[in-house]
Amino acid sequence: MARATRVPYLVSGTNEYGGSNLGRGSASVALRLARRFLREGYMDVRVCTPRGRVLQSDELDELKPPKERDMAKGQQRGNREAKKPKKEKLKVIAAAPSRKEAAWQPDFGPAKKK
């Protein structure tokens, strides 16, 4: 006995030889197949969604996944490349001598207090 696989999206179209009904497992694959049908000259191209909604050829863009900016604020991912990079800090080792050139300062001798 063959096991039935569930395909939530049904793509259908009609050409000069008859009709085609093909099932696909995801919205993106169903959208790709529907667009291929349209390129090949199929008429009456439709996609039936898992909830039973039938999309005509001019409504196929509704199967596209939403972009990140359309998501709720809590679901958005940050873009690290857009952030300003931090300034590099030089590590200072206390045991190493300073590499700065010391500027000459005059020596006035010990200071006296009156």
Render pLDDT for 32-69 as a digit per residue (tens, 0 to 9): 999 999 999 999 999 999 888 999 988 888 888 766 55
101 or 31, greater pLDDT? 31
SS3 call for 60: helix
Q: Let me know: does 60 contact 36? Beta carbons within 8 Å.
A: no
Question: Which tokens in the block code for residue 95?
Answer: 């045991």
Q: Kindly indicate the confidence band of residue 19, based on its pLDDT and cuts at 50, 70 and 90.
A: very high
Residue 89 pLDDT > 90: no
Please give the C-alpha separations between residue 7 and each of 34, 35, 51, 80, 104, in angstroms, as whole numbers: 15, 18, 12, 38, 84
Question: Which tokens in the block code for residue 79?
Answer: 């873009």
Please give the C-alpha separations between residue 86 and each of 11, 27, 80, 81, 83, in angstroms, as whole numbers: 51, 41, 12, 12, 9
